[in-house]
Amino acid sequence: MDILNSVLNFIDYNFYFSLFATIPEHTDADTSLVLASILLSLVIIYFASKLGGEICARIDLPPVLGELVGGVIIGTSILGLLVFPEGMNTANNSLIMKFLQFTADVTPGNIQSIFDSQGEIISILSELGVIILLFEIGLESNLKELISVGPQSVMVAVAGVVTPFMLGTLGLTYLFHIDIIPSIFAGAALTATSIGITAKVLAELGNLSSPEGQIIIGAAVLDDILGIIVLAVVASLMKTGQVEVLNIVYLSLTAAVFLIGAIFIGRLLHPVYVKLVNKMKTRGQLLLISLCFAFVLSYIAQIIHLETILGSFAAGLVLAETEKRKELQDLIAPISDIFVPIFFVCVGAKTDLSVLNPTDPSNREGLVLAGFLILVAVIGKVISGFTIIGQSELNKLAIGVGMIPRGEVGLVFVGVGSASGVLSKPIEASIIVMVIFTTFLAPLLLRSILKEPFFTPQKQKIT
């Protein structure tokens, strides 16, 4: 090849320069190093999520708790492997960037821009993760079931949203003198209920089809819808900063109209959707059409100042009613497996739990705040069980306790709150501790309550 080079030197190829010659517009060093940092980040995220999830699965705790704690451990609070360019963080705080510098040729000037790009890209992947999570939750919901939910479930769901929200928001503003917008947001985060965790415990103890089980499941499904509307409204409040009754009414109406409108228009489009999918011949047609539908609704929700996840949730609800539901669920599962852990781990990694370190006296207020949120989170939901009038044969305590775990739904609130930048670190950390604590506590409490036979005459078996 040396010969070729020499030959070329003889030829006057200036004439061709403008047309064919090497014009390096940009080197690929940056793009390929950013890609390398993303690959490294994903490996670490998946490792943390699986390690945490597996440990939790083995001690009978919800795996989502393990994924979150895995994120906290690799994140800014403890190991500093996965940190994001927010606040004071620079590339120097990130062990991933140090490893990249150690293994690849990165100039010190480049590392900061790689760090910024990595943070932005992982954040977007995490946002896509929560969009897909809500799409999957929507797809698993059943609108017909929801409409036939009994009045008791409606009572429990509404009380379980209103009580913790009011107690939380008023407590934070009056007792803790926190700004109104963060207070409302923290109150809203208290309204979430994770159906999966309670359903698993109920199934495990053979109580899923008991009256209590049915009320809890109905209430939790309704709670998903109420919760996501509350979240959309509150997140929108955070953007505009205007806490006025009219604004709140307007936003609530927008969210409700969007959700109901999407469902009705979606129903009209069912035949078109099924026909289109059946007529297409290329690979992945069902998945891509469904995802496009979810992304379009997410985009619309975003530009009318609601949240993207309200759009993907609505898309899931709509497609759950078509004959393609089962097939789509199977296809979306692997997508969810690779995207959702990014979200859970990032929520953990972004939260600075060191602001709640009890050995530092200046953290006392933050710890009191976390304690208050946990108290309200438990009391607010337990009360909801006792809103059922009469029916003394029902185990109302079990119903209330079944509504306690915030799980992945609580984390969606934390994720949105964190992205808004409106929450202070202690509030964010307190909310996440509340989510961890309720998710951890509920299965233990529920098991101990349901195992006492005199409380649950409908129980089918005791394990």
Within 259-298, the residues that bind a second copy by CB under 8 A are 280-285, 287-289, 291-292, 295-296, 298
Choices 28-36, 212-220, 381-389, 453-461 (CB under 8 A): range interacting with a second copy: 28-36
Residues 6+ apart with CB under 8 A from 310: 134, 228, 229, 231, 232, 255, 258, 259, 301
- How far, in Å, CA of 78 to CA of 72, rounded? 7
Out of 257, 265, 303, 444, the residue judged to bind a second copy by CB under 8 A: 303
Segment 109-115 long-range contacts (CB within 8 Å, at least 24 positions apart): 110/29, 110/30, 110/33, 113/30, 114/30, 114/33, 114/34, 114/37, 115/37, 115/85, 115/90, 115/91
Residue reference for tokens 């897909």? 132
Percent helix, strand, coil in the chain (nearest 5)? 75, 0, 25
Measured CA to CA, the distance from residue 461 to residue 463 in angstroms comes to 7
Q: 117 Cβ partners below 8 Å, 6+ apart?
A: 30, 34, 37
Site string for a second copy, 199-238 (x = CB under 8 A): ----------------------------------------
- Told to check if 250 binds a second copy by CB under 8 A, we report no
Q: Which residues in 321-380 contact a second copy (CB under 8 A)?
A: 331-338, 341, 365-366, 369
- Least Å distance between CB 276 and a second copy? 10
Q: Output the CA torsion 165→350→251→169 (10° steps).
A: 20
Q: Which residue number, 148 or 354, has a Cβ lying nearer to a second copy?
A: 354
Structure tokens at 459: 């129980």
Sign of CA dihedral 351, 355, 357, 363: negative
- Per CB under 8 A, contacts with a second copy among 121-150 are 121, 123-124, 127-128, 131
The footprint of a second copy on residues 90-109 (CB under 8 A) is 103-104
End-to-end CA distance of the chain: 76
> What is the nearest approach in angstroms of a second copy to the Cβ of residue 379?
21
CB of 291 to a second copy, least distance (A): 7
Q: Which of 75, 160, 164, 182 binds a second copy (CB under 8 A)?
A: 182
Contact stretch for a second copy (CB under 8 A) within 32-40, 187-195, 224-232, 405-413: 32-40
- 463 near a second copy (CB under 8 A): no
54 binds a second copy (CB under 8 A): yes
User: Does 24 contact a second copy by CB under 8 A?
Assistant: yes
Task: Build a one-symbol-per-residue string for 61-90: x at contacts with a second copy by CB under 8 A, - elsewhere.
Answer: --x----------------------xx---
Q: Which residues inside 372-431 make contact with a second copy, applying CB under 8 A? A: 419-422, 424, 426-427
* Nearest distance from C-beta of residue 101 to a second copy, angstroms: 11
CB-nearer residue toward a second copy: 128 or 411: 128
Instruction: Answer yes or no: are the C-beta atoms of 329 and 290 closer than 8 Å.
Output: no
Please give the size of the binding site for a second copy, defined by CB under 8 A.
Answer: 103
Quickly tell me which residue has 């079990």 as its tokens. 398
